[in-house]
Amino acid sequence: MLLVLDLVGVAVFAASGALAAVHARLDVFGVMVLAAVTALGGGIVRDVLLGVTPPSTLRQWPYLVVPAVVALLVFRWHPAVSRLRRGVQLADALGLALFVVTGTSVALATGAPAVTSALVGVITGVGGGVLRDVLLNEVPTVLRREIYALAAAGGAVVVVAGDAAGLARLPVALGAAFLVAAVRVLALWRRWNAPTPHP
CB 147 within 8 A of CB 194: yes
> Could you tell me the smallest distance in angstroms from the CB atom of residue 162 to a copy of itself?
20
Among residues 64 and 182, whose Cβ is nearest to a copy of itself? Answer: 64
Among residues 59 and 86, whose Cβ is nearest to a copy of itself? Answer: 59
Among residues 164 and 170, whose Cβ is nearest to a copy of itself? Answer: 164
Residues near a copy of itself, by CB under 8 A: 21-22, 24-34, 44, 48-51, 53-55, 58-59, 61, 64, 75, 78, 107, 112-113, 115-116, 119-120, 130, 134-140, 142-145, 147-150, 193-197
Reduced to 3 states, what is the DSSP secondary structure of residue 111? coil
Among residues 34 and 181, whose Cβ is nearest to a copy of itself? Answer: 34
> Could you tell me the smallest distance in angstroms from the CB atom of residue 9 to a copy of itself?
19
> Could you tell me the smallest distance in angstroms from the CB atom of residue 178 to a copy of itself?
21
CA distance 97 to 150: 12
Least Cα distance to 124 among 17, 6, 8 occurs for 6
Q: Which ranges constitute the DSSP H helices of 110-168?
A: 114-135, 148-164
CA distance 196 to 59: 43
> Could you tell me the smallest distance in angstroms from the CB atom of residue 20 to a copy of itself?
11
CB proximity list for 160: less than 8 A, separation 6 or greater = 104, 108, 114, 115, 117, 118, 121
